[in-house]
Structures are given as structure tokens and as C-alpha cells.
Structure 1
Amino acid sequence: MVTKPTEPIFERLNDFLSRLTPGTAAKLAAGLELEKQRGSKGLPYDLIMSSLRPLLRRWDGRRPGTPTSIRMFCLPFEDLLVDTRDPSSRVRQIGRGSVAPVWRWLESELLPDTLPDITARLAEKMSGASGIAQAGSLTILHASCSSAILSALDEARKDRAMRRQIERELGGEAIVEDAAEIARALEVAPFLLSLRDMLPKRIDDFDEATVAAVAEIYEEARATAPESAIHVALLVLARLDEPCQILRLARKLAGFGNDAAVSRSGLGELGEIFIGELEEIAGTAHGRRAGQADLDQLLSMVMRFAHVSQAFIHEIDIRRCSEWGHRVLAARAKLSAAITEEMSRFEIELARALPLHQIGSYGKNGPRRPDVTAAPELARAEKVLACLRFLRGACPAAESIGAQAHCKTVGQQVEAYLAAYEDGLIEELRHAKGHDLAHARAFLDIAVRFRKTLGPASLADTLRRRGQVAVAQAS
């Protein structure tokens, strides 16, 4: 456990390492691996590597130094490794921390006699043999490890005591699940390695030619190991700038562009990733109490929902009568209901932050003017600012979530209230004295902030100038 006095040192180290170029990071990582192999003590190896990994993922060149056996073991599933598991993600993940326990399990229990010989031959081939010989040694390593893990886990499914023993050896159920995922990826390792060589680390456009090439590799992998071939698509998914483009592969392999054909294909799991995310966003938003939600967080969820749903529909022909169509529409309706309920409070919050009071004895329908008898409540102003940020951000995406009518109505209500309040406040600034004038000027600052948040900025500037002129006239 790191004590508090040393925490700034680690923060500075992380900041320094994050500024390295990817090439420099690759050289540093190679040096660290070499020192670790030599048994060097005292270096915060794991901490340094966690800071270097984002840079290494951007490195397109070959990592310097002789690769270790465990690094070669990880090559096929390297794109699926995550430092911290995201419990909300529906994409298959392998915790980076699971690799070492699984490797030790192979060394001590599953392949104690054969693994040392395999790794020794691999090291020999990697130091100078031809590419074909290296590939052959890698294939033996991956196939042997995959077979050993799958056999052990298959036996454990029939024997609870053995399952519990494996969980104790590896360090928990999550690592056992990762071991299974590693084994399935290794089962199609040659195809994953071909993809690694063929694809860039970041794919900005999954074009038709690349889709066709990946589809060919996927078909070969499915012919070899049907249950593990999905890892071909998962490797591509991990490298896509726009994840929904992976559905282009599913569409091509299904032979049709509609969702029913894709959902029945072996790649239906890919569609479930995005539909599941839409359903989770909608469920989370629907479960929040109106008026209590973090609107900035809710806006982020709305924008994510709009982006995913638009990208999903762009890639796949979603039919209303299909299962996926029903689920997308249900999620959209749930999110729309949550947003509608939340936005129905915006005008009320605005009226609390910029209060009006009655003039004369005309009843509720009589004229009103800004109430500047008390100073504005800043907490209420901040709440309205969050409402306005949400309104401005969510309305452009309203069509994707089925809330365009309500966004338009609430926008008009807010605009009408602000316009009326601003005109009244200018009059107050012309005539108010003493504390009332100070309060009116404070309300003007808040109204200008509201206008700037809602946009356009020119209206905020105009309001500020109107206020300055009114105060000058009053003096």
C-alpha cells in the first residue's frame, strides 16, 4: 500500500510517462521487461507499465527487444485486455491482472512438464529462426495452452469441488472466466495473429475491402472452431473508432442487411452489445427521480443513446416488427418518458431562480414584474444553468430519442419566460434604488449567464449592454 507522502511522487511519475512518445515508451517497456526477467527489485513495474500501455497501443512499430514467453502467449487476445474491467460493458473483456495467475496455473498445474520445453523452443526460434518456424512454435504454444485450459474447465463443470479448487488457485471466479475467454481466443490464435498483421491499430473506416478480408478470415476460423470464431470480430471491434461499424461484418456474413438475418447469424452477439447498451441507458435514466438527477450526467447518457442508436440503425436495417426493432423502440420510449418528466420541471426551476411578483390587486392573472426585494439564490441559479445546458445539448438529439415535441415546447416556454423577465428587469434597473438596485444587478448577471448558456452568445451580450444603459440612465 502506498503511503500518502509518496503519492505525489507516483502522480508526477505518471504525468512524466504520459508525455513520452509511443516509440520511446516501447523502448522503455522493453527495458523494464528485461530487468524484470533478470530479477531486478525495487522498480514499480506494474505502475510504470499501466502508464505506458495507452502509449503502446498507439505504437505501430514492432516492440524492441526479445519478446517474453508471456507476451507471446498474450498476442492473440492482447486487444481484449483491459486494466480495469467495466461492469457496464457488454463487450467481452479480459482483465490484464488475470494473465499472470493463468500463466502460473499453466506452469504449475496444467502443463508443468511440457510448457518449459515449449517456451524454450519458442525463445530459440524468436531469436533467429525464419518466420515460418516462429509461427509454428507460436501455434504449438497457443494450441497447447488452449487445450489444457479448456479440458480443465470442462472437467470442473462436472465437479463442483474441482471448480472451487481452481477458483482458489487462480484467485476468484472472475479470473476463471477470464481463463476460459483466453482459452477460446487461443483456439483461433492463428487467425487472430493474421488479423493483427493485416489491420492498423486504429481503424477510422471499416471499408468494404477490409470487411471482405476480415469476413474471409472469420469463415476460416469458424470452420476450425465455431464457438471461438467470434474473437475475430471482437479483435476488429476493439480497433474501430466507430464500434457500430463492426455490424458491417455481421451484415456481410449474414447475406442480408436486415436485423433479423444478423440476429440469427453467428455474430448476433455483436448487435446485442449495442442494443444492450441502449436498454441500459434507458433503464438507468428511467430509474432516476425527476428533479434529483445529475443533468450533466443525464445529458451525456442522452447523447450516447442518440449516437449509438443512429449508428446502429445506419449499419443495420431495423424493422419495427422484429425483436431488435421492438427492443430499440421500447428503450427509446423509456428514455423519452424519463426526459419528458425531467424537462417538465425546467420552467418551474427558472421561475424560482428569477422570481416575479404580482403588481396591484388584479389576482393571479394580473401583471407581474421581477422581484428584486431579496438577493438571488445562487444554488437555484446553478440548478437552472444545468437545466439550460441539458436543454441546449439534448434538443439537437431529440429526434433520435423521440422527445422532439417536448424539447420544442419546453424551449419555447423557457424562451418566453426569459424574454419577459429580461424586459421587466431592465425597467427595474432604471428605477430601483439602494439594496433593490444591487439585487437587480445581481439578477442581471444571472440572466446574462442563462442567456450565454442557452445561446446564442450575442443575445447575452445584448442583454448585458441593455442593463448597463439602464443603470446609467438611473444614475
Structure 2
Amino acid sequence: MKQPDRIQEFLQRLRPPTRNNLLTELERLELCGVEMPGAAAVMEKLRAEFRASGQTQKRMANPARYFFAPLEPLLVDSAAEHANSGRLQRGSLAAIWEWITRDLLPTMARDYTTQMNDLIASDKQREARQAASTFQTKVVKSLENTIGSADGAAAIRNRLATYTASPTAYVDLTKMLSVLRARDALAKFDDALPVKINSLEDAQVAKLTQLLDAFRKDHAEQVPFALAMVAARLKTPWQLIRLATKAAPSKNAADIAATPYAIGVSMVLDRMDDSRATLRVALRNERILVAREILADAYETEYALGVRIDRLEESEWGQRLSQLMAAIATLVEAEVSRFPDNVGHILGSRSLRSHQSLAGRMTYWAWKGRDAVSGGAAYCRRLVGLPEKSRA
């Protein structure tokens, strides 16, 4: 009975921002599969504290939230340690803000915070946004001067390490720099997108491609962020790959990889990696229904990639997909093996793989039949020297 009291005593000694960072770090480690004795009790107490105060641990002070506003459509709450193209970890922001205010521009940051608090208290929203934009520009210029050299980058990494143990913080800092450079163009692109895309059909692909092409002319570096904004609108996230497959002359992985938006395939795999980490936590906490939804989505994505990309297994995408599905299978097998063989488990149900049903197999062969016809047509066009048409 004394252990919880000691935990509470320890937590009460910490300042609120420190408790915020502690919970963020513990959640990140949990998603990464790191088991720490006593961590569950600490997280439970911290979460209860934030719930009682009517806030979440990820809610930052107002000046910081205004500063990071351009990143909001790109933030994810997962704590994955893998590459996450076009997206930033929300948990990195606290460490980045600490570094900006303590190391990069401490005096300017202090002035900015004072100014913003006054503007927010007076409900001067337009002036507050202008002040945030001005400070963003100052940070961009200062960061460009600092991060440009190997020594400068190393110094930044070392300082960030004092605020967080996450190795993604530095990567997210570089992403922040890229986003802030094109923040106005990204905001304009985001505003032009539909609120929700239920299904990415050919007409919608054409419209989105037109928007992306216009954006890419001046902001090629920021294309992954634009694609992340598109993905956020999709009801079915794996459909992001259609922006790449539609532009390719064939369904071969090599042809798709050569298209301007091929990184969309990698981004779909990034999301699968997030799902793998979330599945592990769900199973550990015995949230089986949540795990079932995650697993069904993973199976659907695996099937969609296999149907729409030929020679997938020969590509880096295919190798990564195989590794992800093997890791997911290991998690599921460990869960199912806890029960006797004669007791069915919801995660072992064939219904999770809907594509293995008769209707699913018919759909698969319909796709393959269409591919054979269109592939033969493409071959004939090459023989007579005609340009190839793009594929769906």
C-alpha cells in the first residue's frame, strides 16, 4: 500500500510541464514495446490527474499552440520510432518547444510568450496569429543557420536529448522546419481538399492529382505533407496508393515507384506500422474488440497492396509489408495460444480476412482479369510505338 503513496509523493514534486513530458515518454515507451515495472501505475495516476483537471497531457500552453498551429493537420498521437513520412509525432512538440525557448531563441521566445498572453487575454485572435507567424519566421531563419552544419545538427540532437529520450524529436524538428517554410501554401492546399473522401474513385484521383501537381511545382520538398493531408480525409487510408498507381504506365512496383507520388505507398506502410504498435498495446490491455478492428484493417490493407501492385514481393515495399505482417502474426499467435485449441478466438476468425470469401476471391480475379486485358493492350501500344496510358 505504500508504493502508490510514494508514487503520488514523487509526482507532486514535479512541475505540470514535467508531468506532461513524463506521461508522453511513458506512453511512447509503451508503444515501442518497452516494459517498465511500475510504469502502469504512474501512467494511471497522471491520466487521472489530467482528466480531473479537464485537460489532456498533450495540450500545450497557448503561445506554443499558436506557434505549432501549421503542424496540427499533420500530427499523430502514436509514438512510433519508425519513419513516418509527412507526419510528426505530437509527443515531440513539448521537447522542441523547450529547445526553442531555452536554447535557440530564449529572449525572443520570452518576448513572444508575453506578447501572446496579452493578445490571447484580450481575445485579439488576428493579432495573435500574426504574432505567431512573425515568431515562426524568426525560428525558421535561426534554425536554418544552425542546422545547416554537421556540428550544428549534432549540437541540436544533444540538446533535444536532454528534453526527451525519443530519437524522432530531431527528425520531427527538421519536418517542422520544412512545414513552416511552406506553411501558407500547405494551408491553401488543405483548404482546397474535400472535407471527407468516402472512396477515391478515378474522378476524385484526377482532381487531387491536379491539386498536387500545382502544389509540387513550387514545393516539391513538402509533397509528403500534402499527401498526409489527403490521407487524413480518406475514409479508407490505404486508397492513398491510388495517387501513385493511377499515374503509372503499369501495375509493376518499379513503374509505380517512379511516379511523383510513390511515397504514398510508403506512407500507407507507415500507418500499418503504427497499427502494429497499437495492436500490441491493445492486446496487452486485453482490449480484444479494438485489436480485432486493427487486425481487420491490416488484412484489408495487405490485400489491397497485393492486388494493386504487381511484383510487390520484389520491391522494398513488399519486403517491409512481409515484415509487418509477420510481426502482426506473431502478436496474434501469442494471444490465440493462450486459449485451448478447442476454444475459438475472435482474432483467429476467418471473417477478418473478407477477401478469402467467395466474393473476395471473385473480386480478386476480376481485378487480375482486368489487369491482363489492360496489360496486353499496353504491350501492343509499346510494339507500335504509341504512348502508354496511365493505370488505375
**Aligned equivalents of 1:100 and 1:280: distance in 2?**
21
For 2:341, the equivalent position in structure 1 comes to 383
The one of 305, 310, 318 aligned to 1:327: 318
* Stretches of structure 1 lacking an aligned partner (at least 5 in a row): 7-42, 54-66, 283-294, 343-348, 350-378, 405-475
Are residue 393 (structure 1) and residue 386 (structure 2) matched?
no
The residue aligned with 1:166 is 159
Which amino acid letter does the alignment assign opposite residue 54 of structure 2? Answer: I
CA separation of 1:385/1:98 partners in 2, compared to 1, >3 Å: closer, same or farther? same
Match of 1:312?
Answer: 305
CA–CA separation in structure 2 for the residues paired with 1:388 and 1:112: 54
User: 1:440 aligns to what?
Assistant: none
Whole-Å separation in 2 of the counterparts to 1:204 and 1:271: 19
Change in CA separation of 1:192 and 1:208 when aligned onto 2, cut-off 3 Å: farther
Which residue of the other structure, out of 180, 187, 197, is the alignment partner of 2:191? 197
Equivalent-residue separation in structure 1 for 2:275 and 2:109 (angstroms): 45
Task: Give the superposition deviation at 1:307.
Answer: 0.5
Match of 1:100 in 2: 94
Residues 50 and 56, structure 2, Cα contact 8 Å, conserved in 1: no
Q: Which moved more, 1:76-85 or 1:113-122?
A: 113-122
* Cα distance in structure 2, aligned partners of 1:189 and 1:250: 24
Gaps of 5+ in 2: 9-48, 277-287, 363-392
Q: Which amino acid aligns with 2:176?
A: I
* Aligned partner (choices 63, 75, 83) of residue 81 of structure 1: 75
Q: Which residue of 2 aligns with 1:363?
A: none
Contact between 2:312 and 2:318, CA under 8 Å: does it hold in 1? no
In the TM superposition, 1:400-439 aligns within 5 A as none
Given candidates 235, 240, 245, the residue that maps to 2:239 is: 245
Instruction: Give, in angstroms, the shift of residue 75 of structure 1.
Output: 1.9
Deviations 1:280-331 (CA, angstroms, capped at 9, x unpaired):
999xxxxxxxxxxxx99998787444300333356xx423388449937994
User: Cα deviations across residues 24-63 of structure 1 (Å, max 9, x unaligned)?
Assistant: xxxxxxxxxxxxxxxxxxx84897333998xxxxxxxxxx
CA contact (8 A) 1:279 1:331 kept: no
Residue 56 (structure 2) aligned to one of 46, 50, 64: 50
Residue 83 of structure 1 deviates from its aligned partner by 3.4
Q: How many residues align?
A: 296
Matches for 1:109-120 after TM superposition, within 5 Å: 109-115=103-109, 120=115
Cα distance in 1 for partners of 2:301, 2:275 equals 11
Amino acid at match of 1:49: Q
What amino acid maps onto 1:83 in structure 2? D
Counterpart residue number, 2:220: 226
Residue 393 of structure 1 aligns with an amino acid whose one-letter code is: S
User: 1:464 is matched with which residue?
Assistant: none
SS in 1 for 2:235: coil
Structure number with greater CO (CA < 8 Å, separation at least 6) is 2
Work out the CA distance in 2 between the residues paired with 1:300 and 1:129. Answer: 40
Contact 2:85/2:224 (<8 A) preserved: no
Query: Is it true that 1:268 corresponds to 2:262 in the alignment?
Result: yes
Q: Secondary structure at the match of 1:50?
A: coil
Q: What's the CA shift for 1:233? A: 0.7
Highest CA radius of gyration, 1 or 2? 1
Report if aligned partners of 1:105, 1:169 keep a CA contact under 8 Å in 2. Answer: no
Q: Is the 8 A contact 2:75 2:90 kept in 1?
A: yes
Note if contact 1:101-1:170 (Cα within 8 Å) is conserved in structure 2: yes
- Taking structure 1 as the reference length, the TM-score comes to 0.47
- The verdict on how the C-alpha distance between 1:310 and 1:93 changes in structure 2, with shifts beyond 3 A counting, is same
Report how far residue 105 of structure 1 moved: 2.3
Equivalence for 1:359: none
8 A Cα contact 2:73 2:229, kept in partner: yes
State the match for 2:179 in structure 1: 185
Amino acid at match of 1:312: L
What amino acid maps onto 2:305 in structure 1? F
Cα distance in 2 between the residues matched to 1:280 and 1:399: 27
TM-score, L = length of structure 2: 0.55
Q: Is the 8 A contact 1:278 1:305 kept in 2?
A: yes
In structure 1, the residue matched to 2:147 is 153
111 and 98 in structure 1: CA distance in 2 versus 1, 3 angstrom threshold: same
- Aligned-residue Cα RMSD (Å) equals 5.3
Deviation track 1:79-104 (CA, whole Å, cap 9, x = no partner) reads: 33233414578555433232233223
**Aligned counterpart for 2:136 among listed residues 136, 142, 153:** 142
Q: Distance in 1 between matches of 2:341 and 2:272?
A: 27
Once the two structures are TM-superposed, the CA of residue 182 in structure 1 deviates from its matched residue by 1.9
Letter in 2 for 1:171: T
Cα 1:85–1:198 shift into 2, 3 Å: same
Q: Is the 8 A contact 1:185 1:228 kept in 2?
A: yes
| 2-structure distance, mates of 1:105, 1:329 | 34
| 1:72 aligns to 2:66 (yes or no) | yes
Could you give the per-residue CA deviations for residues 442-469 of structure 1, whole angstroms, max 9, x where no partner exists?
xxxxxxxxxxxxxxxxxxxxxxxxxxxx
| Cα-to-partner distance string for 1:322-341 (whole Å, 9 max, x where unaligned) | 84499379949x97xx89xx
Q: What corresponds to 2:386 in structure 1?
A: none
CA 207–108 in structure 1, closer or farther in 2 if over 3 Å, else same? farther
Structure-to-structure mapping, 1:120-135, within 5 angstroms = 120=115
